[in-house]
Structure 1
Amino acid sequence: MAKSDYITLLNLPGSVSFFAVTAMRDLMLPNMLGEEQHHILYWSGRDLATKLPVDETALPQLFNQIGFGTLTPLKQKRQERQYLLAGDVVATRIRTYDDPDFQLEAGFLAQSLQQVLGFAVEGGSAIQRRDQNVILTVVMDNQDSQPTADHLIDLATDDQQLP
């Protein structure tokens, strides 16, 4: 369990370069994780979402703050939703790397929705190289009840409580 909460982490001094993050994400991790990279990153994204539970309406803001990119809802059906993941970070990773992985984001989105909606949610990612963005698709099973988060982080309120 982390010693810090969301507000503390959000307000850490200093900054990390885009290069540092993508070097670890797209150069180091694939070598370390090998052919299991996609599965491990998906489940890592789900695990991270359990530590940062927010309401569905706050997901675009959180995606941006984490550095995942700009998340925009696209389509919503009864048991499926699609989101567009775009922005400079996404486009740069798609242009720069042969096989950028967005399963971390897909897992994060799936778990975030699951802990708000209270039923099973699974997700996946599809890179749109031509448009330099990613389509995140989640499929929901409202017959499979799952626990919801005990407490959701209120990003607007928590930002106002900063020292």
Structure 2
Amino acid sequence: MKKIDQLQTMYETTGIHPGYDLLRYMALPDLLGKDQDTVLYILGKNMSRALEVTTIEELIAAFNVIGLGDLAHVKEKRSEDLFTLTSSFIDARKQAEINQTYHFEAGLISGAMETVRGFQCEAEETVKAKKSLVEFTVKHYR
């Protein structure tokens, strides 16, 4: 499927013009190359600090305000937290065959959780395409 056809599918599925997806999933990979994942993760961590996110509730609200989707804090353990991200865009990108990564979102969550928990954190994302959601596991390093 041609890239323009992928974007057209996104537009038809969501009704929203895919300018963000054009930049995020087509232009940035071209610009950043193999360093894309690392750069987006670090950018996300830095953004959480710039937004001054200090609670899990503020993190969830930030995802909604920014338009990244609906973030939910699913589980809290001693050394990790589990979040899920849902959005109609996840499924629309899948249907449009757009290669999607969520390293920026993982970095945003990781940076915020470092502030919330007071420990160094690392977040990993897992796309659950069949469920149209992304799972983020945040590990705390005490």
Q: TM-score range by the shorter chain?
A: 0.7 to 0.9
Question: In the alignment, what sits opposite 1:21?
Answer: 20
Amino acid at match of 2:81: R
Question: In the alignment, what sits opposite 1:76?
Answer: 76
Contact 1:82 1:136 (8 Å CA) reproduced = yes
Tell me, yes or no, if structure 1 residue 39 matches structure 2 residue 31.
no
Contact 1:26 1:97 (8 Å CA) reproduced = no
Work out the CA distance in 1 between the residues paired with 2:109 and 2:118: 14
* Overall identity of the aligned pairs, in %: 27
Structure 2 vs 1, CA of residues 89 and 18 (structure 1 numbering), >3 Å: closer, same or farther? farther
Question: In the alignment, what sits opposite 2:59?
Answer: 59
CA deviation map 1:107-146 (0-9, x unaligned)? 00000111222111111111111111100110001x2xxx
TM-score if structure 1 supplies the norm length? 0.72
Contact 2:25 2:98 (8 Å CA) reproduced = no
Quote how far apart the aligned CAs of 1:96 are: 2.5
- Aligned to 2:130, the other structure's residue is in SS state coil
- Aligned to 1:139, the other structure's residue is in SS state strand
Work out the CA distance in 1 between the residues paired with 2:97 and 2:58: 29
Quote how far apart the aligned CAs of 1:23 are: 0.7
Contact 1:67 1:89 (8 Å CA) reproduced = no
Considering only aligned residues, what root-mean-square deviation do their CA atoms show, in Å? 1.4
Structural mapping, 1:9-158, within 5 Å: 18-54=17-53, 55-141=55-141, 143=142
Amino acid at match of 2:138: V
- Aligned to 1:75, the other structure's residue is in SS state strand
From the two aligned structures, give the one with the greater helix fraction.
2
CA deviation map 1:15-39 (0-9, x unaligned)? xx64111110011111111111111
Amino acid at match of 1:118: G
Work out the CA distance in 1 between the residues paired with 2:49 and 2:95: 31
TM-score if structure 2 supplies the norm length? 0.82
Quote how far apart the aligned CAs of 1:89 are: 2.6
Work out the CA distance in 2 between the residues paired with 1:44 and 1:97: 25
